[in-house]
Amino acid sequence: MNYSRNTLLKRRAEGFKKGWYKFSRNPVSVLGLFFVLTVSFLAIFAPYVSPYPTHASRFVNFAEAGQPPSLKHLFGTDVFGRDILSRVFFGFRYSLMMGVVVLSLVVIPGVVLGLVAGYYRGTWIDTVIMRTTDIFLAVPPLILALAICSVLTPSVFNAMMAVSLMWWPWYTRLVYGLSSSLRTEFFVQAAEVTGASRSHILFREILPNCVSSIFTKMSLDMGWVILIGSALSFVGLGAQPPIPDLGTMVADGAKYLPDQWWITIFPAFAIMITVLGFNLIGDGFRDLFALEEV
């Protein structure tokens, strides 16, 4: 058993090196990484890099409302006289927070349920978990999130909860497939024969072999979660004013198109860059881990 696991770890390390080499040689993936690093940097240091950090909170200055892009306001100002560039930088925070919090909440329960259902495939445990998962998967994700958010008070927190509630089944379904095939592998059977505990088998034998797939899915999902969070804000069910959420900014600006295009276009572009960045990284990771599987 130890021989098999050590061999696997060694092969994984070698695969990672080869994968990273391949990732770094792929200009599109590197571009994605650049986007994500830039967005993360701007989000983390928004109070320091924003030209007008106070514009992200309870600030209005109607004397400067609706200013087009200029040297003073590179992205122009909105109808409340707030600097859009500063609000976009702070908007990255809420977008990234949405992605990180939602994935943090969904990955653990989703993976654990998938592991358990896959390992106990064919039993009542499998039936209960997977049929429940199927029910959630049967409803289109955005519709379910909209329904939940419209029942609750619109807020960033409730939007996160709504997206989380609809997202975990995808991880359960993914890990279920992996777990149910891995349970018949030699190293798992060997662990069972030597009397290893169920938790040891699930989390020490099966889970490590699912990590690459989970990680790839997470990087791809990050963009999707941000997009759905922005969609919820766009329809008024996410972040509420004056929180500088990118989706809310796009929705607010849409009322003033096409004359004051900058109010909508720049936040929309910011969403696109963020989502694109994570998707490109996800593709890169997929290549990286695919190499490892070889």
Partner 1 sequence: MKGKIVVVVGLVILSIGLVAWGGGPLRATFAWPTYIDPAVGSDFSSSSSLVNLYDSLVYPDAKGDPLPHVATAWETSDDTLIWTFHLRDDVTFHDGTPLTAEDVKYSMDRLTTIGEGYAFLFLGRLASTDVIDDYTVQFNLAQPFGPFLSTLYRLYILNKDVVEANIETPGPYGDKGDYGKGYLLVNDAGSGPYVLKEFRLEEELVMTKNPNYWIPIDVDAPDEVRFIGTTEAATVRTMMSRKELEIADQWQSQEALVALDAMEGVDIAAFSPGTAFYLMMNTRIPPTDDIHFRKAMAWATDYATVVEYIFPGAFQACGPIPQNIPGADPTVFQYYRDLDKAREELALSKYSADEYEIEFHWIAEVPDEEKVALSFMSNMADIGINIKVVKVPWMSVVEEMGAVETSPHIVSIFDSSHYPEAGSLLESRYHSNSAPTWEQNEWLLDTGLDAMLESAINTVDCAERFAKYAGLQHMITALCPTIFLFEQVEKHAYQSAYIDWPTAAGEVNPVMGYNLAARFIKVD
Residues that bind partner 1 (CB under 8 A): 58-60, 62-63, 65-66, 79-80, 236, 240-242, 254-257, 259-260
Nearest-approach distance from CB 62 to partner 1, in angstroms: 3
**58/195 with CB nearer partner 1:** 58
Nearest-approach distance from CB 46 to partner 1, in angstroms: 20
Beta bridge partners of 77: 83
Nearest-approach distance from CB 250 to partner 1, in angstroms: 14
**81/208 with CB nearer partner 1:** 81
Nearest-approach distance from CB 254 to partner 1, in angstroms: 7
**57/70 with CB nearer partner 1:** 57
One-letter amino acid of 120? Y
**Cis-peptide into 47, omega within 30 deg:** no
Say how far residue 253 (Cα) sits from the centre of its chain.
Answer: 25
- Contact (CB, 8 A) for 87 and 152: no
- Contact (CB, 8 A) for 99 and 164: no
Rounded Cα distance between 200 and 157, Å, is: 35
Nearest-approach distance from CB 81 to partner 1, in angstroms: 8
**66/177 with CB nearer partner 1:** 66
Rg of the chain in Å (alpha carbons): 23
Task: Find all residues with CB under 8 Å of 80, minimum gap 6, and list them.
Answer: 59, 60, 61, 62, 65
**53/236 with CB nearer partner 1:** 236
Rounded Cα distance between 240 and 263, Å, is: 17
Residue with tokens 């290549």: 287
Task: Tell me the three state secondary structure of residue 120.
Answer: coil
Nearest-approach distance from CB 257 to partner 1, in angstroms: 7
**206/243 with CB nearer partner 1:** 243
The CA-based dihedral angle spanning residues 257, 258, 261, 265, taken in that order and rounded to the nearest 10 degrees: 70
**109/241 with CB nearer partner 1:** 241
Beta bridge partners of 83: 77
Rounded Cα distance between 150 and 237, Å, is: 7
Report CA-CA distances (Å) from 42 to 38, 81, 226, 243.
6, 22, 16, 17
Nearest-approach distance from CB 152 to partner 1, in angstroms: 13
